[in-house]
Amino acid sequence: MTAETKSIDTLVVGAGQAGVAMSEHLSKLGVPHLVLERDRIAERWRTGRWDSLVANGPAWHDRFPGMEFEGLDPDAFAGKEQVADYFVAYAKQFHAPIRTGVEVTKVVRQTGRPGFIVETSDGTFEANRVVVATGPFQRPVIPPIAPQDASLTQIHSADYRNPAQLPEGAVLVVGAGSSGTQIADELRRAGRAVYLSVGAHDRPPRAYRNRDFCWWLGVLGEWDKEAAGPGREHVTIAVSGAYGGQTIDFRRLAHEGMTLVGLTKSFKDGLVTFEQDLVENLKRGDENLFLLLDAADAYVERTGIDLPEDPAARYIPPDPECVKHPLRELDLAKAGVKTIIWATGYALDYSWLHVDAFDEKGKPKHQRGVSKEPGVYFLGLPWLSRRGSSFIWGVWHDAKHVADQIVTQRKYLAYRDASQRSLDNVRAMKVEAPTAKDAQQINEMGVI
Ligand SMILES: Cc1cc2nc3c(=O)[nH]c(=O)nc-3n(C[C@H](O)[C@H](O)[C@H](O)COP(=O)(O)OP(=O)(O)OC[C@H]3O[C@@H](n4cnc5c(N)ncnc54)[C@H](O)[C@@H]3O)c2cc1C
């Protein structure tokens, strides 16, 4: 430890919504901590998303309990900048100790004693605990099937901003979760010919019987589900708040001019081949929709709650041509496809975190965010404790649990047995008591 090394009880890495929530709970519980963020607060909402993105959930739902969106109708969908501004204001509200522009580059265990040495772009810290809040979606992933074809522009959805950014011509969007579907829809509305490659997906209704699907998932206990069902880990969810919020209906998008294709299989000599699973994928998506509608109806019946009937929600448009006769392959040049957008998800990157908190596949090993390495905690990961964990409303509750766990551990470590206590008394008699000024300085530094 050098003279410049700073000590802190708990160091939180990342100041997205997870880091802000963590800081709020640690503050409430009086745990000295510091949040380090390499960019700005909630940076990913500002620069890691496309321009027109709005939250997937309405403003009354996609927020923390402690503050509402100012000046926004609770049923409206906040724009991405409004979401980022919200977290900046939220952090300000409780004076969150966040330092921006500081990247954590390495975390290693102390040798022979608890705690960690944390190297950053602004010096070294010693910390008893590290909370990893670096996001559920860190490194954009483009699958290895992507063609090596210099004539094509290929970007990940993380780098998509707006239609004008792309070269003229048709676009193949691979992946039909919330991102792929919204981007494909925006491009089609901008006059582009669009091919959307649709895999397994859930597509809940945007609203049913006068209630948003976020409400339904809440009252039906779906946000609190602890794990995705077997084989459903890679099923994406197609939902959108764009254009006022509409149910994602792939057949409707096709009737409006989009060409739906099955899962993208391979590329060879300018030809892209698709799995023949489009019809099956749409059918399963419909089944998922009906499952929620049926569960909602059963809830209404059981509780007697007064909500209007909504038969239109069950309407499935007739199959468009691209579903009746799905494309097996597409000649990209002939179809005028100049761009491929890979809406194919993200991976985690913990190359800076040198601790024993991972399984054999390199995935964080934890129980509700408490890792197997004492003192290391994860927050904001998909399914960390439940379905809602990686979302705005869910992470706040997970942060509360992690903060409680930290307090419990601090209490254990503060315990001293009778012999230590009497030794302490003897020492106290020999050492001068700290002055009030000393005590204040110690408090301000949050020194361990
Ligand atoms: C397109 C898209 C739309 C979404 N829409 C919604 C929605 O509508 N509603 C909803 O609830 N959820 C939504 N989500 C999911 C989730 O809410 C977001 O991904 C959210 O950004 C996650 O917050 P986080 O704090 O966990 O992680 P992030 O927002 O990713 O924040 C992590 C922070 O850590 C910082 N960081 C990373 N590494 C380091 C390091 N080594 N040192 C210092 N700092 C570091 C990053 O700069 C970043 O600011 C969406 C996700 C995506 C991709």
Hey, which residues does 195 pair with through a beta bridge?
172, 259
* pLDDT for residue 60: 98
pTM of the model: 0.93
338 and 226 in a common domain: yes
* pLDDT for residue 1: 54
Domain membership of residue 145 (yes or no) is: yes
Range of the domain at 174: 139-342
Q: Residue 17: CB within 6 Å of ligand 1?
A: yes
Give the residue, out of 102, 213, 392, with the most ligand 1 atoms within 8 A of its beta carbon, to mutate for a pocket test.
Answer: 392
334 and 400 in a common domain: no
* pLDDT for residue 444: 41
- Overall domain count for the chain: 2
230 and 314 in a common domain: yes
pLDDT at 432 over 80: no
178 and 93 in a common domain: no
pLDDT at 434 over 80: no
pLDDT at 414 over 50: yes
Domain membership of residue 423 (yes or no) is: no
359 and 311 in a common domain: no
Domain membership of residue 422 (yes or no) is: no
Q: Residue 49: CB within 6 Å of ligand 1?
A: yes
Percent of the chain with pLDDT over 70: 95
178 and 123 in a common domain: no
- DSSP letter, residue 269: T
Residue pair 123/5 in contact (Cβ under 8 Å)? The answer is yes
Q: Residue 236: CB within 6 Å of ligand 1?
A: no
129 and 74 in a common domain: yes
Least confident residue range of 209-223, 231-245, 279-293, 341-355? 231-245
Residue pair 136/346 in contact (Cβ under 8 Å)? The answer is yes
The CATH number assigned to the domain holding 329 equals 3.50.50.60
Q: Residue 125: CB within 6 Å of ligand 1?
A: no
Token pair in block for residue 314: 């069950």
- Mean pLDDT calculated for residue range 427-435: 64
Q: What is the pLDDT of residues 145-198, one digit of tens each?
A: 999 999 999 999 999 999 999 999 999 999 999 999 999 999 999 999 999 999
Q: Residue 390: CB within 6 Å of ligand 1?
A: yes
220 and 282 in a common domain: yes
Q: Establish how many alpha carbons lie within 13 A of residue 352's alpha carbon, considering only the half-sphere containing its beta carbon.
A: 16
109 and 158 in a common domain: no
Q: Residue 48: CB within 6 Å of ligand 1?
A: no
Token pair in block for residue 93: 């509200």
Domain membership of residue 440 (yes or no) is: no
Q: Which of 321, 342, 363 is the last residue of a domain?
A: 342
- Mean pLDDT calculated for residue range 238-253: 96
237 and 227 in a common domain: yes
403 and 305 in a common domain: no
* pLDDT for residue 89: 98
The atom of ligand 1 lying closest to the CA of 105 is: 41
Residue pair 398/384 in contact (Cβ under 8 Å)? The answer is yes
Span from the CA of 380 to the centroid of ligand 1 (angstroms) = 8
Q: Which of 313, 342, 371 is the last residue of a domain?
A: 342
Q: What is the pLDDT of residues 295-339, one digit of tens each?
A: 999 999 999 999 999 999 999 999 999 999 999 999 999 999 999
Helix spans in 109-230 (H):
178-189, 213-219
pLDDT at 359 over 90: yes
Q: Which of 342, 377, 399 is the last residue of a domain?
A: 342
Q: Establish how many alpha carbons lie within 13 A of residue 318's alpha carbon, considering only the half-sphere containing its beta carbon.
A: 2
164 and 67 in a common domain: no
pLDDT at 219 over 60: yes
* pLDDT for residue 232: 77
Domain membership of residue 424 (yes or no) is: no
Give the DSSP H or E segment for 446. Answer: none
Nearest protein CA to atom 24 of ligand 1, as residue = 135
